[in-house]
Amino acid sequence: MGDETASCIECGASGRLGNCGDLFHALLALDHQRLQPWGRFHGLNVACFLLQHPSQVPTGASGGLWQMITTFLAGGVDAVNQLESDRVRSNRRGGRPPLVFESPPSRTSAPSVTIEDVSVDGSFPASGYERRMLEWASSIAGEKTHPIQ
């Protein structure tokens, strides 16, 4: 990670571990190696990061990202993985209209958990990772959470 210490203007992370983009790429490297526990959270990782960094969200994608968050909070990571599988199947079928999802609500306050918190020390340790993902998603959804200590 870099020596940057400027806080992120989009999510409010302190920058003590580098910029959010660098942390996200480190997390994606774990995801793409299909290492666990990170690999099974890939879609949720992307959704959480992008919803906290809206300048990077592709046009029309925020509803699908929000659906990932709400699906995870309602049914866990297995439900997210099923949603991802359903989307892939839907995309492979020609002639069907794309799935449409509800847009996320407007953010009313800064999230209490960011990718910096999930990374702990920049390494995204496996121990406690699922709990940190739940806290990250809950923070984005505006649910009352206790920030990661």
Report the alpha-carbon distance of residue 147 to residue 113 in Å, rounded.
6
Question: Who contacts 36 (Cβ-Cβ below 8 Å, separation ≥6)?
Answer: 126
Confidence of residue 147 (pLDDT cuts 50, 70, 90): very low
pTM of the predicted model, to two decimals?
0.83
Question: What percent of the chain lies above the pLDDT cut of 70?
Answer: 83
pLDDT at position 148, please?
Answer: 43
Tens digit of each residue's pLDDT (9 = 90 or more) over 27-41:
999 988 888 899 899
3-state secondary structure of 18: strand
CB 76 within 8 A of CB 41: no
Of the candidates 115, 124, 113, 104, the one whose C-alpha atom is nearest the C-alpha of residue 149 is 113
Residue range 69-87: mean pLDDT, rounded: 88
Amino acid (one-letter) located at 25: H
CB 148 within 8 A of CB 132: yes
Report the alpha-carbon distance of residue 141 to residue 146 in Å, rounded.
13
User: Phi, psi (5° rounding) for residue 117?
Assistant: -65, -40
Top-confidence residue, 81 or 72: 72
Give the bridge partners for 16, in sequence order.
18
Q: For the chain, what are the domain ranges?
A: 20-141
Report the alpha-carbon distance of residue 65 to residue 38 in Å, rounded.
18
Question: What percent of the chain lies above the pLDDT cut of 90?
Answer: 57
Q: What is the residue-averaged pLDDT of the chain?
A: 85
Tens digit of each residue's pLDDT (9 = 90 or more) over 81-131:
888 877 777 766 665 555 566 777 777 777 799 999 999 999 999 999 999
For residue 146, pLDDT over 50 is answered with no
